[in-house]
Amino acid sequence: MNVPMPPTNGGCRTAPVLKERGQREVFCGLTGIIWLHRKMQDAFFLVVGSRTCAHLLQSAAGVMIFAEPRFGTAILEEQDLAGMADAHKELDREVARLLARRPDIRQLFLVGSCPSEVIKIDLARAAERLSQVHAPHVRVLNYSGSGIETTFTEGEDACLASMVPVLKDTKERELLVVGALPDVVEDQMVSLLTDMGIGPIRLLPARRIDDTTAVGENTVFALTQPFLGDTHAALERRGARHLTAPFPFGDEGTTAWLRTIAMEFGVSEETFEAVTAAPRARARKAIAQAAEALRGKSVFFFPDSQLEIPLARFLTRECGMTAIEVGSPYIHDALHGPDLDLLRAGPQISEGQDVDKQLARARAARPDLTVCGLGLANPLEAEGLSTKWAIELVFTPVHFYEQAGDLAGLFSRPLRRKAVLNLEAAE
């Protein structure tokens, strides 16, 4: 089968990486709960944290007063923070109340926060204790969503990694697709793979707790998100094998991702083309229309979500943009390597952040589009730089063929808006 050819001037996999360790601008890892609680329909996420944690989640989710979401905060008061109360007894009582009121919950995640980690509440021990109390109806797990040392997408990584040790063992040869996707996108992906004759297909996370999701030495897994480093390591410890591929953004990335799986399962070239030809054509047409405003423009990525490298590959190879700098919070060779191979040499690749130094580089470069976090976007807009909020790329369906045009449109809209405003100002 044909595979994407690397650029003739070499890719960025062996390019020097600027490693920075300074002040960072990142969102809290608790943010991942907003898309995870929508995906996992029988799960509840109980944050052990402060009122600030509760306000963050409520604001990010936009939950109305009459809604009953599947997340909440066990608020640590002054007595807890001062060590004057038994936090474990309080937590046990809150969990018992919650499960009595919500019998639909099958998975309960105790999510650590900055406050709970500072006062060193042992949520791992609490999860073990509560699992014994509430088994077999409820499985209790824990992970950290603390913003002290994590970026916001690492919340999903920590959550999925916490699930891997409790997956059942299997000797069957199965494909495990890992990473939370909107249901409509997941259905499209499963349909493409099924039409090629690939199966059985398991999902992590599944929409509901699923005893058929298992892992073993005959399991092969494909990642849909480039920020799942801990989950990748946890699955390999269970004996599973990673199918390394570019991530499924745009026509090229989606085709390469699907080809890697198809080759693993012996799918013929004729079958692959028959299944993918029509959606590929639609993707190319949609990208071409949305990318009109992007061709010949420059882009600068601040590190935020770990999506930066595959998105830079998409924008440069499929939308005609030039990357000036591509920053990522972390660069994981097993995950990001295939996209770095395809990213044309030239941009500065940076890992980590020293925000003042990076801001100075962005201001000096004056890119046509800057992809950054919310905290940096408004100041840069005030200086005349067009920006795209990085967090929008996580909350919006952007994977696979049918969303490829929408993905290009997310980047073209700020440039179109600026063109309209400049035209109005000129008049």
Question: What's the pTM value of the predicted model, to 2 decimals?
Answer: 0.92
DSSP-based three-state secondary structure for 251:
helix
Integer Cα distance of 164 and 205 in angstroms: 10
Q: Which of 250, 268, 248, 241 is nearest to 186 (CA)?
A: 248
- The one-character DSSP state at 368 is S
Report pLDDT for 16.
94
Residue 53 is assigned to a ligand binding site: yes
Task: Name the stretches of the chain with pLDDT < 70.
Answer: 1-3, 5-6, 8-9, 63-68, 78-85, 149-150, 423-427
Among residues 288, 270, 112, the alpha carbon closest in space to that of 197 is found at 270
* pLDDT for residue 65: 52
Cis omega before residue 4 (within 30°)? no
Q: Strand locations in 247-384, DSSP E? A: 298-301, 322-328, 348-353, 369-372
Confirm if 270 and 301 have CB atoms less than 8 A apart.
no
Q: What is the pLDDT of residue 84?
A: 46
Neighbours of 416 (CB within 10 A): 15
Residue 168: the pLDDT is: 93
Q: Is the dihedral of CA 105, 109, 113, 117 positive or negative?
A: positive
Is 114 labelled as part of a ligand binding site?
yes
